[in-house]
Structure 1
């Protein structure tokens, strides 16, 4: 498996760079496979026994995203992802838990294991895992990588790609008992149990994260930004969308969430699926 390398990075030995990319891609795809396996097992497991597959899925996805960022854009992008999405996610959640801003008044129940400042350690990893593919969605759908385009469309589309996923996530986690809201109304139609303030907070945090990441990651070091030989991030985003639509309708007893979140996230996920297909036909 070979990876085309941009001319501007050929000062380094091409063979060594391609070999490093292949190794990272192998790790990323292995972790991606573990994500899919863990989520399938999750759907077949009793609710009280799902914590292991929940945490395993998030960790594997986060590692896959970091490896994908490293292979696609280099060390700076990978470090920036961890700092911005992981550190920023922990900061936002810590402030949120203790002040109610920007998500609203909520608390974790202690069911997700080790906590840092009142926030489960797995939560910032969840920001890492989805923040990276959301950025790729924004860059792809706005055509930013094809020329000198303004940054704000990337930020807007990427933030939507990230925040709309939470319309799937929050109802699932609330139903699983991992966190609770003191006042879950008003809510989106059909998405009971999660207040609108939560989604407003997600949009705000997502905009900040996408802005910093887009400014900092630079140009990819591979010719095709969505090249699946480099890593699974585009596929994992689409898998998350499709599996979430199916799971809420078939397993979680939340068909309304499947429809509402499916429409909201589908605004970017469906065009992104077309973009990925076109990039590899």
Structure 2
């Protein structure tokens, strides 16, 4: 069995355990590190996807650039308030490097892998894929940020916003970072790999589902409903386009 298949099965196992523990608030404080492992596994799946679609060398380069660029953006953002607004990370999402959780780089890999697969499925127009991909990234953040901030306090915002006290600049920053990375990916020639593209669809759906459940149990109903609707429409558009 290949590394990718073993990784995917282990992710499913970890996901099921995590959903049960988080949804029913059974996760003990000493097991908080399990949330970081979830994002790391998600990011590793995205690395496999990029390697399958673009080849090992190109896929590895894409993955490294995504990790480093997003991590640098998060470091600049949390240190100087540029791009995302004024915020800082707590120690609840450790381990941290330069005051930024290492899992954040893997989270961005998951965001880019899933949003790239969906954007490519929705349209074959190369110039439009980065825009759609960046929009999908923002959809993911519409649920991640309220849950991570309001319920988990993995990071703290020091300025207000209309959407759960999160500044608009955060979502604009997400769009810009994702757009730049999606444009970068355009420079590489893809191979056909429908199997792992479908797994990115599933990774997107599972991630959204978990955070929506957390939002529902944490009484963040608007965030859950809004994200579920937008994510559902995105998946519907991608799957319908692939079928036709």
2:148 matches 1:173: yes
Query: Which digits, 9 at most, give the CA deviation of each residue in 1:94-119, with x for residues without a partner?
Result: 11011111000001112111212221
For residues 147 and 138 of structure 2, the distance between their equivalents in structure 1, rounded to whole angstroms, comes to 15
Contact 2:33 2:94 (C-alpha < 8 Å) held by counterparts: no
Matched residue, 1:152? 127
Contact 1:64 1:231 (C-alpha < 8 Å) held by counterparts: no
Query: Which residue among 86, 94, 97 is the counterpart of 1:105?
Result: 86
2:225 matches 1:259: yes
Query: Which residue among 196, 199, 202 is the counterpart of 1:232?
Result: 199
Give TM-score, length-normalised by structure 2. Answer: 0.88
After TM superposition, list the pairs within 5 Å mapping 1:100-249 onto structure 2. Answer: 100-142=81-123, 144=124, 149=125, 151-175=126-150, 176-185=152-161, 187-188=162-163, 192-216=164-188, 218-220=189-191, 222=192, 225-228=193-196, 232-249=199-216
Distance 1:52 1:114, change over 3 A: closer
1:161: how far off? Answer: 1.1
Query: Which digits, 9 at most, give the CA deviation of each residue in 1:69-90, with x for residues without a partner?
Result: 2223311342133222211110
Contact 1:132 1:233 (C-alpha < 8 Å) held by counterparts: yes
1:42: how far off? Answer: 2.7
Matched residue, 1:29? 8
For residues 275 and 235 of structure 1, the distance between their equivalents in structure 2, rounded to whole angstroms, comes to 16
Contact 2:134 2:182 (C-alpha < 8 Å) held by counterparts: yes
Distance 1:125 1:182, change over 3 A: same
Which of structure 1's runs of 4+ aligned residues deviate more than 6 A? none
Helix, strand or coil at the partner of 2:237: helix
Query: Which residue among 77, 85, 88 is the counterpart of 2:66?
Result: 85
Q: What is the root-mean-square deviation in Å for CA atoms of aligned residues?
A: 2.3
**Higher helix residue share:** 2
Query: Which digits, 9 at most, give the CA deviation of each residue in 1:31-66, with x for residues without a partner?
Result: 431452243133234465352321121111111111
For residues 32 and 125 of structure 1, the distance between their equivalents in structure 2, rounded to whole angstroms, comes to 14
Query: Which digits, 9 at most, give the CA deviation of each residue in 1:234-264, with x for residues without a partner?
Result: 2111222333334322x22111111222334
Matched residue, 1:19? none
1:275: how far off? Answer: 4.6
Contact 2:23 2:213 (C-alpha < 8 Å) held by counterparts: no
Contact 1:84 1:213 (C-alpha < 8 Å) held by counterparts: no
For residues 227 and 46 of structure 1, the distance between their equivalents in structure 2, rounded to whole angstroms, comes to 34
Contact 1:25 1:71 (C-alpha < 8 Å) held by counterparts: no
2:50 matches 1:74: no
Contact 2:53 2:190 (C-alpha < 8 Å) held by counterparts: no
For residues 28 and 167 of structure 2, the distance between their equivalents in structure 1, rounded to whole angstroms, comes to 25
Give TM-score, length-normalised by structure 1. Answer: 0.77
Question: Which structure 1 residue ranges, 5 or more long, are not aligned?
Answer: 1-21
For residues 23 and 231 of structure 1, the distance between their equivalents in structure 2, rounded to whole angstroms, comes to 17
Count of aligned pairs between the two proteins = 241
Question: Which structure 2 residue ranges, 5 or more long, are not aligned?
Answer: none
For residues 65 and 17 of structure 2, the distance between their equivalents in structure 1, rounded to whole angstroms, comes to 26
